[in-house]
Structure 1
Amino acid sequence: MMGVEVIPRTARVYIGCALLAATAAVLPALRAGAATPWRTVLLLAVLYALCELPARCPLTGRDLNPLPLTAGSFFPVLIAAALLLPPSAAALAALPGALLARVDRPPGGPRRVWRAARLALGVWAAAHAARLFHCRAALGLGPDTPDFPYALLPASAAALALCLALTALDGGIRATVEQLPPKAAWRGLLGRSLAPHAVHGLAGLMMGVLWRSPYGPVAALFVLLPMYISCWVFAQYHRERAAHQATIRALVQAVDLKDRYTRGHSERVGRASVLIARELGMAEERLEVVRFAGILHDVGKLGVPTRVLRKDGPLTPEERRIIELHPEYGHEMVRGIGFLGEARTAILHHHERMDGSGYPYGLKGRQIPEYARVVAVADAFDAMTSTRSYSRARPVGTALAELARCAGTQFDPRMVDALGRALAREGWQSEVTADETAGPPPGPLPAPRTPPPAGAPAGTRNRTAEEHA
């Protein structure tokens, strides 16, 4: 969950508190005289550690375990521990694997500590939830025989408790590391976690039953095989998606280096495009594509001469025509990138206007692809609300009013309304996009940066949404 390399003090305090709570959770198992089933603890701890250990092949130097840590790849082992062991012992079994697993970003120490504390507390909560529903009797760990289908109840309770505990902890770390408001920090975490944890709960129940069967712990290993295969498939998808992100990141960085006036603009247009699309009720898979469209909408500027992009004075008609070719340049650049899908049409048509006076093809109304209409609004909105070295930001309300004024002629009114509703709920943080910072002015000034038309006074840069091209 921690996506930054410098962890804020509040996050370190949060991690420290989680560590203290995890220590308190495992201490009962370590006390002298505690009836801790050490054999089962050690076997489960070693099994989980081996699953998560990022071993390397001595010949190739490649990771033998390429699975992403955050996927919960081997949570069935932890749920089996919650069903088979007392709460403190179950929490103890999670620690070696959590401490040994791969860390992708520095600082490694705090991240390992956080992961270990998080998993220990989650498994401790899962074991307590399972005991509330008499899991030992249901699994036949005492004198009774296993009780099915009642055994599904403690297993489900354990999986739900693990899910709730990890969700609560993850939201807290997001709030402290990324400085998010509570509502934003926890949004979506539980919904994304419930289904995977339900599957892990069933697999953990199977492991627990087989573990105590006449065939012993070896039989329980067979439960992990289909889980490993499914997680390997997911890891392949994860790698492919990471390659997509790297491709997009490289293109955006190239644009930012070439046009210093729009640094950071692409990422924010992607974010605003997602706000609009989500408000319109687009499916989750389409949100990713519309984000790509927003991020890459100006990639065609790589084909525009730098002297034209950075010109301080008015543009000649010829230079204006060169600038207006950037959507077509961008479309050609990404034509062969299959995963972009409909995003390519947004790159080509995001400067079309509803009244048909835009470019490059003069499309009007619903002829303009939906993604392009989304990105057009997001692009103009961020241009007006960003502070740059040559102009200062308009307040969000002023920018929305300007978009509303141009709705129907330049912008799709549905997209403008959707952005307004999303911002009323989510808010928006205006940012500086050039190298130097500048504070907001006392009053609103137009801000979108596009080259001034031929004949405009030298130095003209601040423009309204209607003039944004």
Structure 2
Amino acid sequence: MEAVPARARGYVAAVAVLALLCLLPLPAIRTPWWALGLLCALYTACEYAVRRRFGSTFHPVLLAGAFLLPPPAAALVPLAAALLCPVEHRPALLRRVWRAARPALAVWGAAEVHWTLGGRDAVVASDFPYALLPAGAAVLAFCLILTVLDGGILAMGVGAPPTPFGQWGRVPLRRAWRGLLSRSLAPVAVHGLAGLMMAVLWRSPYGPVAALLVLLPMWVSWWIFAQYHRERAAHQATIRALVQAVDIKDGYTRGHSERVGQASVLIARELGMDDDRVEVLRFAGILHDVGKLGVPTRLLRKEGPLTPEERRIIELHPEYGHEMVRGISFLGEARAAILHHHERLDGSGYPYGLIGTQIPECARVVAVADAFDAMTSTRSYRRARPVETAVAELERCAGTQFDPRMVAALIRVLGRQGWHPTVTADEPAHKAASRDRVAGTGTPR
């Protein structure tokens, strides 16, 4: 096993020291030890169950501690879970230290903000909606601290939060914190609301037993969320299996499919499509050439010119692909993109010779992404064309082969963030050349 980088060990040690400093005022404050012990036990039980079943973390009890306890006491709530819950991978000690220090700092910060804004009095008095203001600020502080810590561990060269040390390779500083806050804010806000309800019921005449009832609907929602992610993982596995099968049969698509999916996403987002359609376009780009599984390998690898009959067989691959994915319901309109991505606006494309808006919008997106990547990818027989050259070719063919709106969207997004295509795996030049020639995925003409 590869050792954890020394810089990462130092980073975890520094975070642990900061967490210990948060506990220094503890002897000088009045702490309801029975409440702290009950919250520690409850958080440990929830963390054990959630990690074992869902592989994730459960924040409502932590945030309830931030709303109920003084900040130094709240920082102790995750300690028992870090010590008692099983650690799946080595180094176990470093993982336990991180699991204790990371949430301790976050819940301490949330408690400090909550108490500073008078949240404790609002919870005791069940003063709504005023109680929502300090609670919301505390949740934001909780998310910000987790974001800072998780971005730091990524920058130090270990895996993705909240369970680090899973992947290796240092993330550049400019990317380490990208997207962490936006991804965590919504789910943690829901957990914060549940934690606030726990705290209010805890302080009510009904006591801690009533507060526990909040966890039941949270557990159900967590289970539904986990089921969604399992289903999504199954979808991804299905797509990976199909793409790998095509890669084995036709080496040209190795890396090409993923890049077409990326370019399709860029175009879809630039056009303002919603997230669901963007995801569908990603699937469409990745799977657009899956129909090559139905084409005889000898034709894909033929060195000489194709006969008219062989070309007609090659041009059946969009229909083969559509038949292969017809029963995969989650692909949605991606199936139409797979079928029609070789159609042209002037009607000279295949398989059906559709014209203009008869071609589904998603297919028009994938057609531009496909041709763009074919021109800007390095092959063993030629270097990649510059992006400017590819853009000029797309503009030249806009209105005849490609939808001008899709071309313009790609050009705008390239102007803002550029394009960095992955180099395709090496293969014999004559094979790659025959792919571009027979499959229609080379320079648009």
Deviation sequence 1:214-260 (CA, Å, 0-9, x none): 44322211011111111111111111111111111110111111111
CA separation in 1, counterparts of 2:242 and 2:441? 27
Amino acid corresponding to residue 84 of structure 1 in structure 2: L
Amino acid corresponding to residue 337 of structure 1 in structure 2: I
Q: Which residue of 2 aligns with 1:466?
A: 444
Residue 368 of structure 2 corresponds to residue 377 of structure 1: yes
Residue 46 of structure 2 corresponds to residue 47 of structure 1: no
Residue 435 of structure 2 corresponds to residue 450 of structure 1: yes
User: TM-score with structure 2 length normalisation?
Assistant: 0.85
Q: Which residue of 2 aligns with 1:421?
A: 412
CA separation in 2, counterparts of 1:448 and 1:378? 19
Q: Which residue of 2 aligns with 1:364?
A: 355
CA separation in 2, counterparts of 1:245 and 1:463? 25
CA separation in 2, counterparts of 1:184 and 1:322? 45
Contact 1:296 1:347 in 2 (8 A): yes
Residue 158 of structure 2 corresponds to residue 166 of structure 1: no
Contact 2:11 2:156 in 1 (8 A): no
Contact 2:26 2:73 in 1 (8 A): no
Secondary structure of 2:299's match?
helix
Residue 364 of structure 2 corresponds to residue 343 of structure 1: no
Residue 109 of structure 2 corresponds to residue 125 of structure 1: yes
Q: Which residue of 2 aligns with 1:60?
A: none
Q: Which residue of 1 aligns with 2:73?
A: 89
Shift in Å at residue 27 of structure 1?
A: 4.1
CA separation in 2, counterparts of 1:313 and 1:108? 59
Contact 2:41 2:80 in 1 (8 A): yes
CA separation in 2, counterparts of 1:248 and 1:242? 10
- Residues 345, 381 of structure 1: CA spacing in aligned structure 2 closer, same or farther, 3 A cutoff? same
**Which of 259, 266, 278 in structure 1 is aligned with 2:250?**
259
Secondary structure of 2:379's match?
coil
CA separation in 2, counterparts of 1:186 and 1:382? 29
Secondary structure of 1:236's match?
helix
- Residues 66, 25 of structure 1: CA spacing in aligned structure 2 closer, same or farther, 3 A cutoff? same
CA separation in 1, counterparts of 2:144 and 2:59? 14
Contact 1:277 1:374 in 2 (8 A): yes
- Residues 50, 131 of structure 1: CA spacing in aligned structure 2 closer, same or farther, 3 A cutoff? same
Shift in Å at residue 113 of structure 1?
A: 5.4
- Residues 31, 88 of structure 1: CA spacing in aligned structure 2 closer, same or farther, 3 A cutoff? closer
Secondary structure of 2:351's match?
coil
Secondary structure of 2:378's match?
coil
What aligned pairs does 1:304-343 form with structure 2 within 5 A after superposition?
A: 304-343=295-334
Q: Which moved more, 1:208-217 or 1:275-284?
A: 208-217
Secondary structure of 1:291's match?
helix
Shift in Å at residue 462 of structure 1?
A: 12
Secondary structure of 1:433's match?
coil
What aligned pairs does 1:9-20 form with structure 2 within 5 A after superposition?
A: 13=7, 16-20=10-14
User: TM-score with structure 1 length normalisation?
Assistant: 0.81
Q: Which residue of 2 aligns with 1:150?
A: 130
Secondary structure of 2:130's match?
coil
Q: Which residue of 1 aligns with 2:59?
A: 75
Deviation sequence 1:14-66 (CA, Å, 0-9, x none): 574255224322344378845454433332222122112158xxxxxxx9x53
Q: Which has the higher helix share?
A: 2
Give the superposed CA RMSD. 3.3
Contact 2:260 2:370 in 1 (8 A): yes
Deviation sequence 1:89-132 (CA, Å, 0-9, x none): 32331244467668888887766655554323321221111121
**Which of 283, 287, 298 in structure 2 is aligned with 1:292?**
283
Q: Which residue of 2 aligns with 1:433?
A: 424
Q: Which moved more, 1:87-96 or 1:304-313?
A: 87-96
Q: Which moved more, 1:184-193 or 1:309-318?
A: 184-193
Structure 1: unaligned runs, 5 residues or longer:
56-62, 439-446, 454-460
Secondary structure of 2:346's match?
coil
Q: Which moved more, 1:151-160 or 1:370-379?
A: 151-160
**Which of 211, 215, 223 in structure 2 is aligned with 1:224?**
215
Deviation sequence 1:144-175 (CA, Å, 0-9, x none): x5544432222122112112223344445556
Contact 1:210 1:216 in 2 (8 A): yes
Amino acid corresponding to residue 204 of structure 1 in structure 2: G
Contact 2:300 2:434 in 1 (8 A): no
Structure 2: unaligned runs, 5 residues or longer:
158-168
CA separation in 2, counterparts of 1:346 and 1:137? 58
- Residues 236, 98 of structure 1: CA spacing in aligned structure 2 closer, same or farther, 3 A cutoff? farther
**Which of 194, 197, 208 in structure 2 is aligned with 1:203?**
194
Secondary structure of 1:432's match?
coil
